[in-house]
Structure formats: structure tokens, C-alpha cells
Chain A
């Protein structure tokens, strides 16, 4: 016997969480775009989507975020910090790859300096993940050693029941336990079995690829030029990635007063790492694409012991010229033989 949540009880659940002070966010398809938005009832949710076009990263590390307000005086500088509001949020219906993305980024934001903008939101969030029972052509979680039912980064795991009426429920953390306890009267005991997770084919041998990437001889390989020839240098792959985390600090205002902001940056852009002198250490698209792959499958692992890719496949799914991590790593693991 395990606990289950029936689909027809979901509205009660949402109402209970909302009255306990939580905002509930779930996949929503609105205005020709799917992303996580606040919902009041289950009818607004688009839970049957394979994956939202935008990731939940947006809600922890927004595309643009005010950091502080400043005023320059004659002999003085006034600055006031602008922190995100204290809102407790439940993210319902997250895909395992997106949830893993958060866990992958945690060490980065907490490494030398604890990024309060990230952690204030992380500490106030409960991630309720739904295991995938289907996948599409671009899914590749199994290739990066995750799974369609991986629990990484999740506080609660929901496994769709075989009969389609609801989900088997499992708490994975204290926050998850507390969230489920708050709706314990809505959950039921049942012996229904969950549907098997999706079978996602392994598309490349990530270990082999990492070996090749780790070999300094390959850094200047002609391979990088060939694989990135058609890259047009947009930031679509990086901005839709659940783990990409590069940002840029911008001051916006006039001579005396303004707001300092943290904006997403992308290694695809020609301006990425451009020096004031005009020198750019990554001055071609191939060196920038190499940076993206090396960062994800070599540097990040070196520093934090984990690859910075959760296998959601958005980079390929949304690429205007059909590039992506899958193709590149496939090619690399083939090179390695």
C-alpha cells in the first residue's frame, strides 16, 4: 500500500496549499507559449505536455533581475539592495530533468559566495515532480545518466498510476514531507501500481565523450569548427537550458541614479567575454560552442563533480538550425571510437 493523489482531488490540494500561504505554479500553455505560471485550479494546468518550452530555472534565476538601486551624490553614493519577495512556492508538475537542473546549479550559486537571490527562492520552493511515462525525439536524460523518473532536485515525486486516475506520491525531503502532511487528508492509501517510466534511448556514451574532452590535444581540434559551422550565434539553447547560468551585470539609469541588474548572458553571443580593449579570447563561433560543451562536460564537473546537463533536450528541440548537445556529444563519442 502506498499513498496516492487522485487527479480529481488535485483542486482540493491546490486550495489547501494556497490557503496555507503557498503560491502554486504549474505548466501553463498561454499566449502560444508553455511555461510555469501561477495557477488557481487544475483546469489551468497543462500537465499532459511532454515538457514546457521554458524551464523552471526562470523562476529562480530570472532573465533580468534588479539587484540594487543607486543614487550618486556629490561626495557620496547611496545604494539600496533589492531582494526578491519572500514568497513560498510549490512547483507542481515539474519534469525530472528540470528539477535536476536546479540541483545541478545549487553548488554554483553557493560555492564561494552564497547568491541570496537564488537561495532565497530555492529555500522557499517545494519541487513536486511528475515522472515521465512518455518522451519525445529530443529527450536524452538517460544519456547523461539521469532517468525519466530520477528524483534529483525534487522534494516530492509523483509517479503516474497505470490506470491514469492519479499519481503515486513519495516525499523525498523534509520540505516534501511537510507539504504532503499538509494535505494528508486528501491523499489516499491504495495498491494501484504506477505506470513504468518512459524508455528513453541512450544517444551517446557520455563517459567516452568526457574522456575526449579531457584530452588537451583535442582543444584545438578541427572538429569544433566543423560541428559549429551552421551555428548562427543566437542564445536560444542557453536561455532555454535548465542549467545554463551565465549572467552579466548591467547598470540601467541616467547619470545620477539607476538600477543595477543581473541579466542572462550567453556564450553564443559575439559579445560574450569581450574585453574592454576589444580583444576577445573566444572570437569565433566554434570557440564559443566549444566553451559551451567544455563548460558542461568538463569544467563544471572538475569544479562541482557533476555534469551541467540534465538531458532535457531543449537545445536541440528549439535550435533554429538543428544543432544541440546530442549531436555534438554523439559525434565526440564516435570520434573516441
Chain B
């Protein structure tokens, strides 16, 4: 039985037994290559669910929609390992109760989706461990090192060019499961820390602040990068932060539902070579 048929069947069972009120999955998009998020509430509608190698979006972002989980009912969601890590972080940061999330885990290998065993976030410990062992993306690391080796002035010019393209549509923020603030710092105007205008300085500040807020929280799902309409390599800056917390604090985001957030904890012997 193919994974799509299997997941449809299991989703229909969960819905008809009332175990979940909603299944968040993928459906056909506006072109043959595209997949779009779909929301399924009845067993019959599970026919709309599609699962294949084109299903790359991290759907955990919908779980933090205001009020979705507040009635205590369960929601099922299709997630790749990165999405499962997002659930771990959201649980660790007290944004959702992982017991309410039924996970249809899958991974994509050679362009094909294959199922992962488990239903609860805690069932996927080995999957997350394997992801950690596989390490951060070597391609992004290569690009990050290229930038690390040019002068600061050249690096500044590189990011200035990139950030000057930004139009502050906030697609990066909106698509990100980690960006759940009810009021984003950039929308706060008393005091107004960073420029809300989309000139290069305002864009620079915005992108620095977002990268900082994602340090040790980003699971590298690539959602921001894919959704950026002006193609800023956002994945790269988030990768550099993930590398930093891994090297400095041996911290890998989203390992478990009770992992302390990296910046909300410390060790007395944390490295401090740069402090005078």
C-alpha cells in the first residue's frame, strides 16, 4: 500500500472515530508541480490528501493559529522530521500541548515520500537523533564559510545588496512556525526599536532581529527561503546561527519536548573567549 493511500485511510479512521477534529495535510496545487496545504474535517474529504516528494512545506505553522488547539481537541498533521522538531520546540516553549498533535510522519528520499513510524512527537526521538547525527546542511555550510572568509566590509556589502531587495512583506515571519509572537517587535511602536519602513537600514535591522530570534530555534525547514518573493538567502543566515549554537553550546534545536530553549538556559562553563 502506498504511503498516500495508507495516510488517507488512517486519517479517515481518526476523523470518523472522533480522535481528531482536523487533519492538516497536502493537496494538489494550481499546477502539477505544486502542493498546497489542505484542511480535512470529514472522512470523505481525505480523498483530497496527496503525499509525494513535492510535499516540502512545514505545516506545523498552522498549529499555532489562534484558538485552533484551545478547545483541547486533537489535530493531525503531516510532518517531515523538520516539522516534528518544530513541534518539539513549540511544546518546549509552551505554545502547544504535544498530546493534542497527532503526527503523520514522513520523510522524502530520492524524491519519494516514505512513512516514519510513530504518532506522537515523543515517538520520533530516533528520527530527530538521526537528523542531528547527519549534521547541518553541507551546502549551506560551504556558502557560510565562503562569507566567513571574505572581509567584514565585503560581507556587509553582500548582505546590504540582499536586504535591499526586501519589501517587508513578512512572508518569512508568517510562514515560520517559530514566529508566533502575537505582536512582532517590528510592529511595536512604543518604543520603536527598529525602523518599520522598508528602506535598506530598516530591512537590515529587521532581518538581523529575526535571525537572532531564530537562533537555536530554527529547524532549517527552508520555509522562509522558499516563500521570500525577492529571493533573499534567508536559510543561510539561519544556518549560520544554528552552527553557532551547535559549536558553542552543543545545542541542536527541537530534540525533545522538554529541551530548554538555548537562550533561556546556561552552563557556568559556557565559552567566553571574546569577553575582555
Chain A directly contacts chain B within the complex, with at least one CB pair under 8 Å: yes
Instruction: Write the residues of chain A forming the contact surface with B, with a CB cutoff of 8 angstroms.
Output: 31-33, 53-54, 63-64, 137-138, 229-230, 232-236, 238-240, 250, 252, 261, 263-264, 266, 269, 271, 316, 318, 320-324, 326-327
Q: Do A263 and B198 touch (CB < 8 A)?
A: yes
Asked if B175 is at the interface of the complex by the 8 Å CB criterion, the answer is yes
Q: Do B170 and A234 touch (CB < 8 A)?
A: yes
Q: Do B38 and A230 touch (CB < 8 A)?
A: yes
Q: Do A320 and B198 touch (CB < 8 A)?
A: no
Q: Which residues of B, 193-252, contact A by the 8 Å Cβ criterion?
A: 195-199, 202, 223, 226-227, 229-231, 233
Identify 27 residue pairs between A and B in the complex whose beta-carbon atoms are under 8 Å apart, listed by A's number: A31-B161, A33-B165, A53-B229, A53-B231, A63-B167, A63-B198, A64-B199, A229-B39, A230-B36, A230-B37, A230-B62, A232-B171, A232-B174, A234-B171, A235-B170, A236-B171, A236-B227, A239-B169, A261-B197, A263-B196, A264-B167, A264-B168, A271-B187, A320-B57, A320-B223, A322-B35, A323-B36
Most buried by A among B165, B167, B195, B196: B167
The 7 closest A-B pairs by CB, nearest first: A320-B227, A234-B171, A235-B169, A322-B36, A234-B174, A232-B174, A64-B197
CB distance from B178 to the nearest CB of A (A): 13
Contact residue range for chain B?
Answer: 35 or more
Asked if B162 is at the interface of the complex by the 8 Å CB criterion, the answer is yes
* A238 surroundings in chain B (CB, below 8 A): 169
* A271 surroundings in chain B (CB, below 8 A): 187
In the complex with contacts A63-B168, A264-B167, A320-B223, A232-B30 CB distance below 8 A: no
Instruction: Write the residues of chain B forming the contact surface with A, with a CB cutoff of 8 angstroms.
Output: 29-31, 34-39, 57, 61-62, 161-162, 165, 167-171, 173-175, 187, 195-199, 202, 223, 226-227, 229-231, 233
* B167 surroundings in chain A (CB, below 8 A): 54, 63, 235, 239, 264
**Which residue on A lies nearest to B227, using beta carbons?**
A320
Number of A-B contacts (CB under 8 A): 92
CB distance from A3 to the nearest CB of B (A): 37
* A326 surroundings in chain B (CB, below 8 A): 30
Partner of A264, one of B37, B173, B175, B198: B198
* B39 surroundings in chain A (CB, below 8 A): 229-230
CB distance from A90 to the nearest CB of B (A): 23
CA distance A287 to B57 in the complex (A): 25
Partner of B30, one of A63, A64, A137, A269: A137
CA distance A269 to B39 in the complex (A): 22
